[in-house]
Structure 1
């Protein structure tokens, strides 16, 4: 494949810019209860939301199983994982689960995967985390071979897999991204980058250029950056900041995130405490009109898509419905 020139990179950007805003904004669905999550996805589709994302939290019900259930009562909403941890799940198993969802909802799954965090994987599962980016590279290679080509013949450092799948499915494979090395890997091997809690200036000045340069070096189209954005449908800024801090404060204690925050110019305290400036940089709030305007501003700045996570301030259910309506009417 030939290397891209600047014009080709621009054309990659324009293919996202040409899409309606509503197609570029996805909403995170809480997966703590599978039945409730399925109902939320059905409701979001009715509200006009075009993309939902679900995270596999350590002790939540299985996300891919929930999405398989949601595929049946819905018809068009896209279903994404952001992310499924790789270490606890064999890549052949991951490919076969994704294939099942594609059978139920052809063309609607976007598979986001990543190594998760050492305290979770080692502390909870007892699985050693060694060279996570190299592990992720092998993992993506296996999953893509299975889904896109239907045949896996892989003899690597971490996996030895030989298998043939019953059919192919060109499901987009996205990877979690925090620091520069992960964005470079996304540019090289992935169909999208899924940063989580990355301040916007860090994404625009550091991460996106690293991804684009890597894609160009490897002769690939630039994969989309699906930027994680916290959103509160409230114009009480102090209440928003307090609710946001409560929701995300644990991330300051996770080494991968603490390192990224330092890279972004927001080092955390020795106890993992996140500064007010960092919290303020991560959340969008205000009236529906102000939030929609900020979405458009972010999408015009060099970000391809937004992955919106609700920050409840007073009433989680009514605010979630309001946010879904807002996105569905963009």
Structure 2
């Protein structure tokens, strides 16, 4: 998600979120993030803004508007006046995509939690969870949602090689490359869950023990391995709900 300060993006986003939240019976989780400079500038032709300041200003508008309040806001990059009418619709849960320390703290302060990607259980426990929970002090316990690449496979080396090839370009984005460097990862494959069903289930337990409240699984690998991956995690989700 990228934003342009004078185009009413917080209002449009709030209207879409509240409409979807109502239509789905209150089951929406709204996830936002500042994207990356190469994407914002090259793909959308917009001006890249300092991400923490820009995101804070977006949240300063979006949070009250989602609660049904009118705002009058003039920041350094965001200007907004007005509100969104959605009578009887409660605000959806709001997650902020975050990897660096300042964005993680912002997720704890102004969102309902963080959505992080390509992290290891150790880094999650030592850096991500403490940053978010400390900033959320006095508020409801934050959600820590982790996006994970996973492949239930008999060819672990092949899965790792495929991930490092397929995600090589994404790993060069400054936010992701900085995260990989901070946690000592040599590439995206270092964060891949790969192995048989028992190994994958054990890896999930490591993330839960590290403080993850929810996982978003991205199946990767050969088609048959992706089927195994989806089947395993669907079964695990059913067991968890049961």
How does the TM-score come out when normalised to structure 2?
0.87
Q: How does 1:106-255 map to 2 (within 5 A)?
A: 106-167=25-86, 168-216=89-137, 219-255=138-174
Matching residue of 2:182: 263
SS of 2:175 mapped into structure 1: helix
Q: Tell whether the 8 Å contact from 1:239 to 1:313 is kept in structure 2 after alignment.
A: no
How does the TM-score come out when normalised to structure 1?
0.65
Q: Tell whether the 8 Å contact from 1:233 to 1:322 is kept in structure 2 after alignment.
A: no
Question: In structure 2, do the counterparts of structure 1 residues 264 and 257 end up closer, same or farther at CA, with 3 Å as the change threshold?
Answer: same
CA deviations on 1:207-229 (whole Å, 9 max, x unpaired) are: 2212222222xx32331110121
How far apart in 1 are the matches of 2:3 and 2:235?
A: 33
Q: Tell whether the 8 Å contact from 1:86 to 1:113 is kept in structure 2 after alignment.
A: no
CA RMSD of aligned residues (A): 2.2
How far residue 202 of structure 1 moved from its aligned partner, in angstroms, is 1.8
Matching residue of 2:13: 94
SS of 1:102 mapped into structure 2: helix
Superposition misfits of 4+ residues, deviation over 4 angstroms: none
Comparing 223-232 with 158-167, greater Cα deviation is found at 158-167
Gaps of 5+ in 2: none
Relative contact order (alpha carbons < 8 A, sep ≥ 6): 1 or 2 greater?
Answer: 1
How far residue 321 of structure 1 moved from its aligned partner, in angstroms, is 4.5
